[in-house]
């Protein structure tokens, strides 16, 4: 009993649990990578039971990049991520700045409207009909305009502007600075960390988003990467699609499973690349903003 209650036992127990959970978080990822590096011969021989490939090969990746659909989808995802993040960040910033000015007539009404959009959903079909009527179906705009102003981010940024010491602004105004100068010389430069954080999270959301494309994009050549990945998982004859029937040598062919895992890895890589930057911005404020994201 004394042992069970002891400090060292407690530390041992929680270390074990934390290490175990970390392994459980990481291992599936390693397994996905392992399968993506296997050729058909090894896949068949092992019956799919792979710990790590004996002869790692990038064939699955080569075959995927050779197909035209994939490169286009990758490009569309990159485009929507940059365009969408830039647009939302710009729109969200100017909106948050304006509603953070306490002297602005109508300010509380505007804030109320912003909160209303968080609390009340407009529904899938009405949103679809509006996007359709605006002629945005099957265009990149359908992926970036519907989320152009993010209400949560407006509130988070407004909070950030509110916390910038008033004295800075007041002394600038006494020196004769107008609204534009106050914004560009004081408020925006002070908020760079907030922009970085919000921008990174928006970029991740754009990269990961697939459902909007499933509704708004019907043209198969205009799908972003995540939707293409989803469709590859649904398709039945993936192996035949990507392996030329001329190639019969099983070590030069790739199993459908390896192809699937390779596209998953490609979907993950950009996330892993910006992850170190993301990690800097894990704070409570960002978390609450991301709950309903």
Partner 1 sequence: MAKEVKRLNEAESGGRWDGVKRHWFLYLMLLPAVVYFIVLRFYPMFLQMVLAFKDYQLMRGVWDSPWVGLDNFRHIFGQADFGRVLRNTVEISLLRLGFGFLPPLLLAIFLYDLSKGWLRKVSQTILYIPHFFSWVVIYGIVFALFSNSGFVSLLIEKIFGSDIDFLMGSEWFRPLLIGSGIWKEIGWSTIIYLAALTAIDQTLYEAAKIDGAGPWKRTWHITLPGMRSIVIFLLTLSLGNILYAGGEQILLFYSPATYEVGDVIDTWIYRQGISQLQYSLATAASLFQSLFGFLLVIGANYVSKRYAQTGIW
Q: Which of 74, 160, 207, 242 binds partner 1 (CB under 8 A)?
A: 207
User: Within positions 31 to 50, which residues make up the interface with partner 1, using CB under 8 A?
Assistant: 31-32, 35, 47-50
Q: Which residues inside 240-259 make contact with partner 1, applying CB under 8 A?
A: 257
Specify the stretch interacting with partner 1 by CB under 8 A; choose among 59-67, 68-76, 96-104, 186-194.
96-104
Q: Is 145 in the site for partner 1 (CB under 8 A)?
A: yes
Assess 173 for contact with partner 1 (CB under 8 A): yes
- Is residue 233 part of the contact set for partner 1 (CB under 8 A)? yes
Does 164 help bind partner 1 (rule: CB under 8 A)?
Answer: no
Minimum CB distance to partner 1, residue 246 (Å) = 26
Between 63 and 210, CB nearer to partner 1: 210
Contact between 149 and partner 1 per CB under 8 A: yes
Site size toward partner 1 (CB under 8 A) is 97
For residues 69-88, which are near partner 1 according to CB under 8 A?
A: none
**Using CB under 8 A, which of the segments 65-73, 108-116, 186-194, 241-249 binds partner 1?**
108-116
The DSSP annotation for the chain comes to -HHHHSHHHHHHHHHHHHHHHHHHHHHHHHHHHHHHT--HHHHHHHTT--SS-SS---HHHHHHHHSHHHHHHHHHHHHHHHHHHHHHHHHHHHHHHHHH-TT-TTHHHHHHHHHHHHHS---HHHHHHHHHHTT-TTSTHHHHSTTSS-HHHHHHHHHHHHTS-HHHHHHHHHTT--HHHIIIIIIHHHTHHHHHHHHHHHHHHHHH--HHHHHH---GGG--HHHHHHHHHH-S-HHHHHS-TT---TTS---HHHHHHHHHHHHHHHHHHHHHHHHTT--HHHHHHHHH-
Position among 122, 245, 248, 249 found at the interface with partner 1 (CB under 8 A) = 122
Query: With CB under 8 A as the contact rule, which of the stretches 18-26, 64-72, 184-192, 243-251 interacts with partner 1?
Result: 18-26
């Amino acid at each position: 009993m004394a042992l069970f209650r002891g400090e060292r036992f407690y530390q041992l127990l929680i270390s074990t649990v934390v290490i175990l959970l970390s392994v459980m978080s990481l291992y599936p990822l390693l397994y996905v990578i392992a399968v993506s590096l296997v050729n058909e011969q090894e896949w068949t021989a092992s019956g799919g039971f792979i710990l790590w490939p004996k002869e790692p090969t990038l064939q699955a990746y080569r075959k995927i990049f050779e197909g035209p659909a994939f490169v286009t989808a990758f490009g569309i995802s990159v485009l929507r991520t940059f365009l969408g993040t830039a647009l939302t960040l710009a729109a969200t910033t100017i909106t948050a700045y304006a509603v953070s000015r306490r002297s602005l007539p109508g300010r509380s009404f505007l804030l109320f409207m912003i909160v209303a959009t968080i609390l009340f959903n407009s529904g899938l079909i009405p949103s679809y009909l509006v996007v359709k009527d605006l002629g945005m179906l099957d265009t990149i705009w359908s992926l970036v305009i519907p989320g152009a102003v993010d209400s949560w981010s407006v509130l988070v940024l407004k909070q950030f502007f509110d916390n910038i010491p008033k004295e800075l602004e007041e002394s600038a105004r006494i020196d004769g600075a107008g609204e534009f100068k106050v914004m560009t010389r004081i408020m925006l430069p002070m908020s760079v960390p907030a922009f970085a954080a919000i921008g990174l999270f928006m970029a991740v959301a754009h990269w990961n988003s697939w459902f909007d494309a499933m509704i708004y994009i019907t043209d198969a050549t205009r799908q972003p990467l995540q939707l293409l990945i989803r469709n590859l998982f649904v398709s039945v004859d993936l192996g035949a699609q990507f392996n030329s029937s001329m190639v019969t040598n099983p070590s030069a062919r790739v199993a459908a499973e390896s192809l699937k895992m390779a596209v998953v890895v490609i979907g993950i890589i950009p996330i892993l690349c910006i992850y170190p930057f993301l990690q800097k911005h894990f704070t409570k404020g960002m978390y609450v903003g991301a709950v309903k994201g």
